[in-house]
Amino acid sequence: MSVERRRWRIERRLLLVAMLSFAGQPLAAQRTGVIAIRGGTVLTIAGPVIRGGTVLIRGGKIAAVGVNVPIPNDATVVDASGKYVMPGLIDAMSYFGIDAQDLAESSEPITPELRIIDAYDPTGQGFASGAGPLRANELLIGGVTAQYVGPGDATIVSGQGAIVKTAGRSLADLVVKEPAGMDLSVGAGPTKTFRAKNRTPNTHPAVMSLLRQSLIKAQEYDRAWQAYRGSDSTRGRTPAPKREPGMDALVKMLHRQMPARIQANTVTDIRGAMRLADEFGFDLIINGGAQAYQMKDELAAKKIPVVLGPISHPFISGEEIPDLKEYPAPDERNAGWLRQAGVPIAIASYSHGLGGLAQPITAKWLLIDAALAEGYGLSEDDILRALTLSPAQILGVADRLGSLEVGKDADVIVLDGPPLKMKTWVERVYVSGELVYDRSNAGAVLAGEQRRAP
């Protein structure tokens, strides 16, 4: 490693440590009819930057974005002069709100019928780390307004994930899409889990074999139901196949009603996941992708997106994140190489802390972490897109989330400076048009109101 690069790393670590001093509190959700965020630098993500612009919110949706936006007399006007306004961040892979014991059902290697929403605690209080129970406002402090919550990667098929917002008055308010993906792993997770149990699969070929067998079984199950539906079933000529929730879920994946999110870090694992997608015809998203840059051209040709882990991982050791030694050494240039090749990317927290320096299992540091990528080949526009519109597109919710466009959900954050500057803080967060976090009014909670779903 060059002296310059080593110095850059050390300087970044010192800056990251400095970020740990801040703590804020959420503001209870406040419903307002019309809100005008006026005078800021508006980063729409989908279009050009608007300086001195206005974002008009009405009924939880974005009603207008521009410079000369008429402001209704009954609007609540927020002065954003000198500030930046952009869409809320989307954490494309998180475990926030899931108790550690519910992350993986490790009794069996294949459990597609499991739904993570059944274990989701919107308050986040059930998930404890070494520092104690997590605060529910961690995501809002970091400007995260939506996240994909999935099961862990300890088994081959671990179940179905969901896309949820980080604030809402009911579960219906929180859920954006469910199921939103089938979470699988062909990497070190399953072999580590079942090797410890002295059970199969404890090798990578066994993992691939079991997964292929399950997908073939799902195809046969699907054909049996198609035959039944095509027969004169009302006369009892063809018996109905036995209903199997796990097979139903895999059939949805095979029919491209939800993507397969496969945890794959090595070239071998990524290639194996791509072979399965070709063989069975499902939509594929690569989770992790530590060595994806070595297959960037193949991934780009097939338009397979990669949801990358924290950029700060190269700065940490296996002692700080115990399972890191199970995976190939990450390269912080990975994101830049993939983007240059045309591979769709998102940068996600995977619920790790910032370079092992912050409390884990939170996306509080997602924006700061992603800023590290600017020194490794990603432009500012690329980084912001990888935290907003790109994950929305990858997750199939870009019609509602990811950019400041008329008709989309009013998930908006206001920052006191440029988003990728280390000293910039999120000042306000709106989710579905409601003010749910205000840094200037830290600790203010309206009596009797709940910011999150019970």
Spatial contact of 181 and 285, defined as CB atoms under 8 Å apart: yes
Percent of the chain with pLDDT over 70: 79
Judge if pTM exceeds 0.85.
Answer: yes
Q: What is the pLDDT of residue 19?
A: 41
Among 134-143, 195-204, 223-232, 272-281, the range scoring the smallest mean pLDDT is 134-143
Structure tokens at 123: 């308050």
Q: Judge contact between 312 and 353, C-beta under 8 A.
A: no
The answer to whether 201 touches 194, Cβ cutoff 8 Å, is: yes
Q: Worst-scoring range by mean pLDDT, 148-152, 155-159, 312-316?
A: 312-316
- At residue 4, the pLDDT reads 47
pLDDT of residue 346: 97
List the structure tokens of 137. 């406002």
Work out the average pLDDT over 255-282.
97
* 207, 190 contact by CB (below 8 A): yes
Give the mean pLDDT of the chain. Answer: 83
| Residue 201, CA distances (Å) to 19, 204, 246, 388, 444 in order | 43, 8, 19, 37, 52
Q: Which pLDDT band holds residue 343 (cuts at 50, 70, 90)?
A: very high
Which one of 184-188, 415-419, 436-440 scores highest in mean pLDDT? 415-419
The answer, yes or no, to whether residue 353 has pLDDT greater than 80, is no
Full set of structural domains in the chain with CATH = 1-87+402-443 (2.30.40.10), 89-400 (3.20.20.140)
Other CB atoms within a 10 A radius of the CB of residue 331 amount to 17
Provide the percentage of residues in the chain whose pLDDT is more than 90: 59
- Give the pLDDT confidence score for residue 325 in this predicted structure: 54
Question: Cβ atoms within 10 A of the Cβ of 202, count?
Answer: 16
Which of 52-66, 237-251, 259-273 shows the lowest per-residue confidence on average (mean pLDDT)?
A: 237-251
Instruction: Examine the pLDDT at 40 and tell me if it is beyond 80.
Output: yes
Q: What share of the chain is helix, strand, coil (3-state, %, to 5)?
A: 35, 25, 45
Question: What's the token pair of residue 438?
Answer: 């205000």
Tell me the pLDDT band of 362, cut-offs 50, 70 and 90: low
Nearest to 174, CA basis, from 417, 409, 375, 3: 409
| pLDDT band at 357; cut points 50, 70, 90 | very low
Judged by average pLDDT, the poorest of 110-124, 144-158, 345-359, 409-423 is: 345-359
| DSSP designation for 357 | S
Q: Among 49, 47, 57, 41, which residue's Cα sits nearest to residue 431?
A: 57
